[in-house]
Amino acid sequence: MSDQNSIVSQIGDLASAGEKMIERLRRKAFLPDSRKGLNVRVGIAEAAQLLGCSTNRIRMAEDDGRLPPPPSGENGRRLGYSMEELMHMREVLGASPARAPLDVPAIIAVQNFKGGVGKSTVTTHLAHYFAVQGYRVLVVDCDSQATTTTLFGFNPHFNITRDETLYPYLSIDPTQTDLLYAVKRTPWPNVDLIPSNLELFDVEYELAASGSDGQSVLAARFRKLKAGLMDMARDYDVVILDPPPALGTISLAVMQAANALLVPLAATTPDFCSTVQFLSMMDQVIAQLIEAGIAVDYSFVRLICSKFDGGDPSHEMVRTIMEQTFGPALLPVPILESAEISHAALRMMTVYELEKPIGTPRTHKRCRANLDEAMGQIEQLVRAGWGRVAPAREEDVIHA
**Which pLDDT tens digit goes with each residue over 192-234?**
999 999 999 998 888 777 655 556 777 787 889 999 999 999 9
Contact 322, 357 (CB under 8 A): no
pLDDT (mean) for 9-19: 70
pLDDT (mean) for 258-276: 90
pLDDT at site 3: 59
Q: For domain 106-399, give the CATH superfamily.
A: P-loop containing nucleotide triphosphate hydrolases (3.40.50.300)
Query: b/e for 211-229, b at 16 or more Cβ within 10 A?
Result: eeeeeebbbebbbbbbebb
- Distances from the Cα of 31 to the Cα of 25, 37, 187, angstroms: 12, 7, 12
pLDDT at site 393: 52
Closest listed residue to residue 183, CA positions, set 171, 166, 201: 166
pLDDT (mean) for 118-123: 91
pLDDT band at 15 (very low <50, low <70, confident <90, very high): low
The residues of the chain that CATH labels 3.40.50.300 are 106-399
Torsion of CA 153, 51, 118, 264, to 10 degrees: 140
Q: pLDDT tens across 84-105, in order?
A: 999 999 999 999 999 999 999 9
Q: pLDDT tens across 364-394, in order?
A: 999 999 999 999 999 999 999 998 766 555 5
pLDDT at site 37: 74
Collapsing DSSP states into helix, strand and coil, what is residue 73?
coil
Task: Give the separation between CA 286 and CA 73, rounded to whole angstroms.
Answer: 56
Q: Pick the residue with more confidence: 120 or 239? A: 239
pLDDT band at 305 (very low <50, low <70, confident <90, very high): very high
The amino acid sitting at 283 is D
Contact 118, 266 (CB under 8 A): yes
Bridge partner residues of 109 (DSSP):
241, 261
pLDDT (mean) for 302-306: 93
CA 190 to chain centre: 13
pLDDT tops 50 at residue 398:
no
Contact 330, 117 (CB under 8 A): no
* Mean pLDDT (the chain, rounded): 86
pLDDT > 70: what percent of the chain?
89
Phi-psi region of 326 (alpha: psi -120 to 50; beta: other; left: phi over 0): alpha
Query: b/e for 9-23, b at 16 or more Cβ within 10 A?
Result: eeeeeeeeeeeeebe
Beta strands across the sheet bearing 238-242: 184-185, 191-194, 137-141, 238-242, 106-110, 260-266, 301-306
